[in-house]
Amino acid sequence: MHLNAAADPAPADLRELLLDILARHGEKTLSAPEIARSVTRDDDWSDLLAPIRRAAVELALAGQLIIYRKGKPVDPREFKGVYRLGLPRHD
């Protein structure tokens, strides 16, 4: 599935897409720009960064993904700056 950066993707579609991309990458974490570049054919992938962040926060609050900052899990309601996303690990 590819998205058009000019059109704001539906939140449910983007949440599903985030989980799918993270599942394909296994235990590796991904940044929002890496995810945005992988889902759009447009050169202007930066328009997807805010929708990705909103979807990531929703998924993190639901326990479906982890938001990392400087390699450590953060509270999805209070993080700032550069972050990475990953699936919960079941060690």
pLDDT of 4-61, one tens digit each? Answer: 544 556 777 899 999 999 999 988 999 999 999 988 877 888 999 999 999 999 999 9
Q: Is the residue at 3 inside a domain?
A: no
Domain of residue 54, CATH code: 1.10.10.10
Q: Is the residue at 4 inside a domain?
A: no
Decide: 35 and 1 in contact? Cβ < 8 Å.
Answer: no
Q: Is the residue at 18 inside a domain?
A: yes
Q: Is the residue at 39 inside a domain?
A: yes
Q: Is the residue at 22 inside a domain?
A: yes
Residue 1 confidence (pLDDT) above 80: no
Query: Which structural domain range is residue 35 located in?
Result: 11-86
Length of the chain: 91
Q: Is the residue at 26 inside a domain?
A: yes
Q: Is the residue at 50 inside a domain?
A: yes
Looking at residue 41, its pLDDT comes to 78
The total number of structural domains in the chain stands at 1
3-state class (DSSP) for residue 20: helix
CB atoms within 10 A of CB 39: 22
